[in-house]
């Protein structure tokens, strides 16, 4: 009777099993984990699975884009069980990877230098000059560090005999180290005792080596502090999450090509305070996209002139431009000889056996053994999926033989490696599998970083797990999963950590105005959209409450929006009721889809949940998330979590055409949205460092809130006819109902209400409070920038007209609306009050417009130089 | 032949350009059969920075940068130079059998001589010239088994000239070789790319030559095509002999009428002016080339 945990765990004769040495014989380094699992209850197992899912959802960890407008977000998948390697095995991997990284670095130095390897015949010209990753304009450049390769990764697999093989080299900007870090932070908390007692190596040293060595080699001028940035292709990239995660962790600003500029032969970051020189670019942007002037001209992602800055030795690229030439299946066949040639020693770890068909004997071999081999492109530009010889029929074989003979140098034949297998927890979706393990094929991506003392290999890595169908394909894109990788130590492990306590406690690493203008812009819009979401949610909750109270019958009868607003409503309800008023407020903000035959209920649901309705709550939230996505490196994880939760609340309620969401449930959904908004604004107000970036976020929030409140109050005043009816609505929509009750302890009256929502500078929801704060922050911003050498008067920020409008508003006396004028008839009193209301409404609109002008002015002054896209001219 | 060349390029932008960088290939590279007497490069407005150097293919290259806003760019390149007959024309030959040339360029895991090593740079796909089976198929009738390589290439050039229509309206910078092959029309740049693609698809080495063509016809000859703008043609590598230049636009080998400016893998390596601008709105471009014979003979 097999052990219960193993009852579904299939051993396969053709594969190495990482955990089991015999039928039920555990390898010693798995013993502790297995025992821990063995004493776990089904509930504990489920809880672990749930913890992983929850953390990933909250962190918004994705493989491709989180908030891509096309909606293509795919959560990262992580198995709760780590993959474990014992110390002695790791020592071999560590040495082999350091050797290989060193070798590849030397190969690059030759290819971008004297090219002796090609002249001597050690390496075919075809594999270099024929590879579109070989960038001729970079030939002859010499990196300030002396290294072309700074960060290297290798994909490893273990064959049935237990040996490790290199499957592929990653030399551009290897991805995955950030995911490895994220996996570690989750899995180490699942098994804290085990993690400590087994002495698992920590990962932080690797990242510290990266920080230190880049800073050490930065080509600084005397007196300069090294400034390192992480260059990303942007939020559309499939690993953008990881890039922002790493940028935060390493404390490097995450920048896009448009944030950088080359002046003379130096690279600069465009910041709010002007240009700041960049010494090192840690690159995740593919090198051929890096400079539209000298490399690919069809890309707007790069930095014109970057190659010239590299040539001048004024910027260190990690990795060097052109390092992509190493990513080639063809090169694998030549590395053993190159190792002898360049290092004078054999390769410590073999690569999977490869034959480059450009050599006649190799071509013959590949054709003869086609059935046992995989055909791969020699160059990544070929976009050819690997072809498994064993899957080809006679016609397919003939076709491939002809193709190989026709262009032999474009193909490589590779031996098939049967991947090893390791235990994973079945998906939580499977009901019967609570306490059983299943076997999946795995491979490990390992990382190395160069330091002045040589290469350092990360003791761990990203273990990738095949999906259940594709046994030999490790791909996150094809339904695979991942694992944390535990390298056990025989000695006490380094406890160094780059994290400040709990991850996400500190928020912004850098202070001062050295924030990229584009980041400031995104923070500004994040502020505006977040505030707009809150306002929309409040309006929609108010309207849906009114509908549920008074309009059940009307909704069932399918009363259209027009009818409710217009004469139809009067027929139904006598006077325009609270619902009509509420709908009016919603329409004031363009929240509702156009009035047509649909019921009010339907329109409210769409306004809340349908991203495709312009102006809807859901579409505004999407914009907020998109803005946040682009400044993820500046938001704390907790801040990000609260935004994610908000997004989730709506996503779970999204209506599909077939079954409209329930209007009865809408108010409670919106309650949850409002609660999440409060926590979001809490993070914005209290958690972030008060630097220039934060100030833009708050400016955005204050401007938006001022605009929302002043419009609501002005709308109320213009419609009230001097009568206090609807004051309740005004209080609720201004989020002041609670404050009013606390202060006056009675049913609301008009004048105290107006005082509270417009003039009371102690009330954080009043119009005057927003204006006050805006002026205060603008002054601080002005002072900050002046301190860093950007002198500009208040006029430059568009402050005077705004201050004037606010002054006029504050000078308004509520006595103008006072009802109880001595001696007046009721009619006279009402007329006077009416005139007062109209005057206050006018002043509010003036303030509203002035804040809009202020917003435009801020955009012009700080953001516009981000805009003009680079264009290529050729004559 | 002694020539005076004036090449002006003028951009006018509807909105001002805030920053710009340009890479110029406008100064003739030194070749044994050309003697440059005088050359000048005038740029208006004055660039913020300006650097002269040699690019990776040995061509003179000027890099200019504008950090201040401007609404036009005028680049005027002027040269006086003498062109002698190409040395390889002195002893006309059809060259070795083409397959031998291909085999000599193939990888043999043995050291390469300078000439072969240099030719390798021009033998593979480049950003502007894909290597495709269609191109090999098009070249095949000219490259029968055992045919001498220069003879075969001359035949390929003749066929391109005969079967493709010269049409300045038909294509633009960046039109792909495969499109040109399908549509059977183009300009000198397209024909050069097409012929290079054909030769490389066969495993031969071929490079793109950018330059000028004298404007006035030789006595008794028709006006040459492509003479009011910069011109482009092809050079093919032949072991022991060197690089033989073919002009598929005019169906002739390059001679004293062809003035060499620069060479590379394709147009992208040597475009006379390539730039990246920020801002600028719409722009108009005016290019003028005049090549005047100062005196005939050597």
* Interval B216-243 mean pLDDT: 80
CA angle in degrees (0–180, nearest 5) for A388-A389-A394: 130
Given a cut of 90, whether residue A141 has pLDDT beyond it is yes
Closest Cα in chain A, distance from residue B38 (Å): 23
Residues A447-460: tens digit of each pLDDT: 999 999 999 999 99
Mutate to test the interface with A, among B54, B107, B168, B277 (most CBs of A within 10 A): B107
| Interchain contact, B18 vs A262, CB within 8 Å | no
Note whether A513 and A684 are within 8 A (CB). Answer: no
Residue A344 has a CB neighbour count (10 Å cut-off) of 7
Closest among B176, B182, B57 to B121, alpha carbons compared: B57
Q: Helix, strand, or coil here: B284?
A: strand
Tell me, letter by letter, the H, E, C secondary structure of A292-359: CCCCCCCCCCCCCCHHHHHHCCCCEEECCCCHHHHCCHHHHCCHHHHHHHHHCCCCCCCECCEEECCC
Residues A385-406: tens digit of each pLDDT: 889 999 999 999 999 999 999 8
Q: Which residues of B touch A262 (CB under 8 A)?
A: 21, 65
Closest Cα in chain A, distance from residue B11 (Å): 10
User: In terms of C-beta density within 10 A (0-12 exposed, 13-18 middle, 19 or more buried), how is residue B197 classed?
Assistant: buried
| Interchain contact, A129 vs B120, CB within 8 Å | yes
Confidence of residue A511 (pLDDT cuts 50, 70, 90): very low
CB pairs under 8 A between A and B: 113
Tell whether A875 lies on the interface with B, counting CB pairs under 8 A.
yes
Tell whether A261 lies on the interface with B, counting CB pairs under 8 A.
yes
Residues A476-491: tens digit of each pLDDT: 555 578 999 999 998 8
| Interchain contact, A136 vs B56, CB within 8 Å | yes
Domain B2-83+271-295: which topology? Immunoglobulin-like (2.60.40)
| Interchain contact, B274 vs A262, CB within 8 Å | no
Nearest to B56 among A119, A139, A869 (CB): A139
Residues A323-379: tens digit of each pLDDT: 999 998 899 999 999 999 999 999 999 888 999 999 989 999 999 999 999 999 988
| Interchain contact, B268 vs A136, CB within 8 Å | no
Residue A443 has a CB neighbour count (10 Å cut-off) of 26
Between A64 and A537, where is the model more confident? A537
Mutate to test the interface with A, among B22, B112, B119, B120 (most CBs of A within 10 A): B120
Q: What is the pLDDT of residue B225?
A: 61
Confidence of residue A128 (pLDDT cuts 50, 70, 90): very high
Given a cut of 50, whether residue A708 has pLDDT beyond it is yes
Given a cut of 90, whether residue A68 has pLDDT beyond it is no
Closest Cα in chain A, distance from residue B108 (Å): 7
Residue whose tokens read 């700080």: A862
Residues A646-660: tens digit of each pLDDT: 888 887 766 554 345
Chain B residue nearest residue A308, CA to CA? B63
| Interchain contact, A872 vs B276, CB within 8 Å | yes
Residue whose tokens read 């899995």: A187
Tell whether A275 lies on the interface with B, counting CB pairs under 8 A.
no
Closest Cα in chain B, distance from residue A406 (Å): 9
Confidence of residue A746 (pLDDT cuts 50, 70, 90): confident
Closest among B214, B152, B213, B161 to B190, alpha carbons compared: B161
Q: Which residues of A touch B112 (CB under 8 A)?
A: 118-119, 121, 125
Closest Cα in chain B, distance from residue A130 (Å): 5
Residue A474 has a CB neighbour count (10 Å cut-off) of 25
* Interval A761-790 mean pLDDT: 85
Confidence of residue A743 (pLDDT cuts 50, 70, 90): confident
Confidence of residue A661 (pLDDT cuts 50, 70, 90): low
Closest Cα in chain A, distance from residue B154 (Å): 24
Chain A residue nearest residue B118, CA to CA? A119
* Interval A6-26 mean pLDDT: 87
Q: What is the pLDDT of residue A751?
A: 87
Note whether A335 and A166 are within 8 A (CB). Answer: no
User: The domain A220-314 is classified under which CATH number: 3.40.50.920, 3.30.465.10, 3.10.25.10, 3.40.50.11290?
Assistant: 3.40.50.11290
User: Percent of chain A at pLDDT above 90?
Assistant: 48
Chain A residue nearest residue B231, CA to CA? A875
Domain boundaries, chain B: 2-83+271-295, 87-269
Mutate to test the interface with A, among B8, B18, B21 (most CBs of A within 10 A): B21
| Interchain contact, B57 vs A263, CB within 8 Å | no
* Cα dihedral A691, A692, A697, A702 in deg (nearest 10): 100
The encoded tokens of residue B38 equal 């005088």
* Interval B112-120 mean pLDDT: 95
Q: Which residues of B touch A873 (CB under 8 A)?
A: 11, 22, 273-277, 283, 285
State how beta strands A411-415 and A354-356 pair. antiparallel
Q: What is the pLDDT of residue A567?
A: 41
Confidence of residue A569 (pLDDT cuts 50, 70, 90): very low
What single-letter DSSP state applies at residue A755?
I
Residues B140-154: tens digit of each pLDDT: 999 999 999 999 999
Closest Cα in chain B, distance from residue A318 (Å): 22
Q: What is the pLDDT of residue A655?
A: 53
Tell whether A133 lies on the interface with B, counting CB pairs under 8 A.
no
Residues A599-632: tens digit of each pLDDT: 888 889 889 988 888 889 998 998 898 888 888 8
Mean of pLDDT over chain A = 85
* Interval B155-184 mean pLDDT: 88
Closest Cα in chain A, distance from residue B257 (Å): 22
| Interchain contact, B273 vs A873, CB within 8 Å | yes
Tell whether A296 lies on the interface with B, counting CB pairs under 8 A.
yes
Q: What is the pLDDT of residue A646?
A: 85
Q: Which residues of B touch A869 (CB under 8 A)?
A: 278
* Interval A220-246 mean pLDDT: 89
Q: What is the pLDDT of residue B106?
A: 93
What is d(CA A817, CA B213) in angstroms, rounded to the nearest whole number?
87
β-bridge partners, A420: A442
Tell whether A199 lies on the interface with B, counting CB pairs under 8 A.
no
Given a cut of 50, whether residue A760 has pLDDT beyond it is yes
Closest Cα in chain B, distance from residue A383 (Å): 14
Q: Helix, strand, or coil here: A83?
A: strand
| Interchain contact, B280 vs A125, CB within 8 Å | no
User: pTM of whole model > 0.90?
Assistant: no
| Interchain contact, B111 vs A120, CB within 8 Å | yes
| Interchain contact, B108 vs A121, CB within 8 Å | yes
Tell whether A126 lies on the interface with B, counting CB pairs under 8 A.
yes
User: Percent of chain A at pLDDT above 70?
Assistant: 87
Chain A residue nearest residue B26, CA to CA? A875
Confidence of residue B198 (pLDDT cuts 50, 70, 90): very high
Q: Helix, strand, or coil here: A112?
A: coil
Given a cut of 90, whether residue A240 has pLDDT beyond it is no
Q: Helix, strand, or coil here: A431?
A: coil
Domain at B87-269: CATH architecture: Roll (3.10)
| Interchain contact, A132 vs B125, CB within 8 Å | yes
Closest Cα in chain B, distance from residue A450 (Å): 28
Note whether A748 and A725 are within 8 A (CB). Answer: no
Residues 811-870 of A with CB under 8 A from B: 865, 868-870
Confidence of residue A69 (pLDDT cuts 50, 70, 90): very low
């Amino acid at each position: 009777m097999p052990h219960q945990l193993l009852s579904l765990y299939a051993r396969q004769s053709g594969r190495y099993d990482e955990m089991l040495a015999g039928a039920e014989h555990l390898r010693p380094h798995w013993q502790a984990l297995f025992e821990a699992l063995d004493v776990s209850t089904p509930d504990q197992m489920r809880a672990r699975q749930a913890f992983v899912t929850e953390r990933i959802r909250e962190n918004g960890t994705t493989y491709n884009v989180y908030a891509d407008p096309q909606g293509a977000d795919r959560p990262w998948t992580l198995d709760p069980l780590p993959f474990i390697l014992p110390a002695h095995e790791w020592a071999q991997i560590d040495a082999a990877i350091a050797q290989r990284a060193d070798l590849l670095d030397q190969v690059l130095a030759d290819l971008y230098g004297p090219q002796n390897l090609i002249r001597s015949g050690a390496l075919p010209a075809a594999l270099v000059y024929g590879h579109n990753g070989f960038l001729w304009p970079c030939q002859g450049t010499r990196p300030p560090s002396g290294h072309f390769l700074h960060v290297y990764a290798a994909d490893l697999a273990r064959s049935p005999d237990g040996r490790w093989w290199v499957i592929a080299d990653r030399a551009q900007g290897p991805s995955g180290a950030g995911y490895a870090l994220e996996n570690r932070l989750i899995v180490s908390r699942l098994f804290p005792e085990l993690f400590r007692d087994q002495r698992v190596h920590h990962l932080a040293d690797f990242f510290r080596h990266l920080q230190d060595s880049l800073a050490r080699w930065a080509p600084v001028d005397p007196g300069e502090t090294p400034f390192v940035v992480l260059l990303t292709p942007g939020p559309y990239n499939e690993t953008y999450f990881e890039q922002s995660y790493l940028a935060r962790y390493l404390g490097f600003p995450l920048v896009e090509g448009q944030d950088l500029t080359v002046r003379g032969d130096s690279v600069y970051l465009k910041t709010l305070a002007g240009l700041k020189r960049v010494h090192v670019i840690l690159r995740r942007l593919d090198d051929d996209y890096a400079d539209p002037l000298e490399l690919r001209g069809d890309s707007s992602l790069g930095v014109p002139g970057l190659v010239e800055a590299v040539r001048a030795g004024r910027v260190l690229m990690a990795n060097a431009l052109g390092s992509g030439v190493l990513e080639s299946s063809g090169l694998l066949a030549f590395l053993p000889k190159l190792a002898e040639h360049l290092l004078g020693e054999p390769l410590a770890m073999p690569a999977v056996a490869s034959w480059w068909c450009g050599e006649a004997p190799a071509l013959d071999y590949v054709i003869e053994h086609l059935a046992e081999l995989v055909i791969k492109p020699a160059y990544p530009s070929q976009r050819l999926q690997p072809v498994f010889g064993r899957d080809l029929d006679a016609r397919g074989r003939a076709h491939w033989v002809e193709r190989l003979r026709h262009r032999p140098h474009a193909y490589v034949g590779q031996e098939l490696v049967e991947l090893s297998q390791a235990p994973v927890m079945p998906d939580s979706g499977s009901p019967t599998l609570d306490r059983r393990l299943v076997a999946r094929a795995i491979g490990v991506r390992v990382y190395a970083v160069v330091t002045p003392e040589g290469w350092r290999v990360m003791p761990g890595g990203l273990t990738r797990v095949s999906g259940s169908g594709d046994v030999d394909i490790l791909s996150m894109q094809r339904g695979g999963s991942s694992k944390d990788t535990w390298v056990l130590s025989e000695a006490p492990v380094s406890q160094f950590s780059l994290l400040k306590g709990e991850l996400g406690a500190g928020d912004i690493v850098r202070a001062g105005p050295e924030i990229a203008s584009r980041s400031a812009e995104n923070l500004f819009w994040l502020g505006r959209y977040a505030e707009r979401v809150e306002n929309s949610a409040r309006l929609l909750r108010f309207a849906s409450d009114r509908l549920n109270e008074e309009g059940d019958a009307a909704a069932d009868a399918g009363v259209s929006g027009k009818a409710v607003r217009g004469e139809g409503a009067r027929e139904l309800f006598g006077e325009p009721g609270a619902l009509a008023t509420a709908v009016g407020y919603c329409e004031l903000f363009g929240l509702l889809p156009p009035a047509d035959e649909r019921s009010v209920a339907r329109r409210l649901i769409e306004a809340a949940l349908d991203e495709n309705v312009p102006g809807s709550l859901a579409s505004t939230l999407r914009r907020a998330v998109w803005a946040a996505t682009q400044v993820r490196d500046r938001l704390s994880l907790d801040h990000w979590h609260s935004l994610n939760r908000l997004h989730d609340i709506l996503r779970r309620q999204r209506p599909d055409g077939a079954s409209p969401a329930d209007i009865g449930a809408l108010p409670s959904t919106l309650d949850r949205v409002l609660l999440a908004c409060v926590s979001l604004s809490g993070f914005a107000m209290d958690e972030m460092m008060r630097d220039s970036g934060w100030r833009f976020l708050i400016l955005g929030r204050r401007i938006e809130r001022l605009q929302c409140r002043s419009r609501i109050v002005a709308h109320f005043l213009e419609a009230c006819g001097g009568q206090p009816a609807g004051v309740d609505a005004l209080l609720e929509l201004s989020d002041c109902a609670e404050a009013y009750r606390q202060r006056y302890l009675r049913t609301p009256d008009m004048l105290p209400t107006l005082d509270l929502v417009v003039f009371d500078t102690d009330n954080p929801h009043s119009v005057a409070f927003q204006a006050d704060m805006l002026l205060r922050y603008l002054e601080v911003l002005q002072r900050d920038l002046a301190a860093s050498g950007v002198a500009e008067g208040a006029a430059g920020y568009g402050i005077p007209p705004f201050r004037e409008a606010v002054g006029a508003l504050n000078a308004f006396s509520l006595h103008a609306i006072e009802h109880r004028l001595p001696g007046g008839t009721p009619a006279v009193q009402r007329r006077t009050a009416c005139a007062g209301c109209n005057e206050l409404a006018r002043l509010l609109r003036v303030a509203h417009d002035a804040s809009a002008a202020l917003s435009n002015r801020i955009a012009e002054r700080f953001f516009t130089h981000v805009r003009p896209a680079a264009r290529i001219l050729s004559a | 032949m002694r020539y005076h060349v004036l090449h002006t390029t003028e951009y006018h932008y509807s909105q001002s350009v805030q920053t710009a960088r340009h890479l110029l290939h406008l100064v003739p590279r030194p070749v044994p059969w050309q003697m440059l007497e005088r050359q000048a490069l005038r740029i208006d407005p004055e660039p913020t920075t300006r650097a002269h150097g040699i690019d990776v293919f040995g061509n003179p290259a000027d890099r200019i940068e504008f950090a201040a806003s401007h609404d036009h760019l005028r680049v005027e390149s002027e040269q006086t130079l003498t062109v002698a007959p190409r040395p390889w024309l002195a002893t006309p030959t059809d060259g070795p059998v083409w397959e031998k040339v291909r085999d000599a360029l193939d990888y043999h895991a043995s050291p390469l001589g300078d000439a072969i090593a240099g030719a390798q740079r021009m033998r593979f796909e480049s950003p502007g010239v894909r290597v495709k089976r269609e191109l090999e198929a098009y070249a095949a009738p000219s490259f029968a088994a055992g045919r001498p390589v220069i003879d075969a290439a001359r035949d390929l050039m003749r066929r391109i000239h005969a079967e493709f229509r010269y049409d300045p309206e038909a294509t633009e910078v960046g039109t792909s070789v495969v499109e040109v092959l399908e549509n059977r029309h183009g300009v000198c740049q397209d024909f050069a790319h097409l012929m290079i693609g054909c030769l490389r698809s066969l495993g031969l080495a071929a490079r793109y030559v950018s330059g000028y063509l004298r404007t006035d016809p030789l006595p008794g000859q028709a006006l040459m095509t492509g003479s009011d703008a910069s011109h482009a043609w092809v050079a093919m590598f032949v072991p022991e002999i060197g690089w033989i230049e073919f002009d598929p636009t005019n169906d002739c080998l390059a001679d004293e009428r062809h003035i060499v400016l620069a060479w590379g893998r394709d147009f992208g390596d040597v475009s006379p002016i390539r730039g990246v601008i920020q801002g600028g709105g719409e722009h108009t471009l005016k290019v003028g080339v005049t090549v005047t014979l100062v005196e005939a003979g050597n």
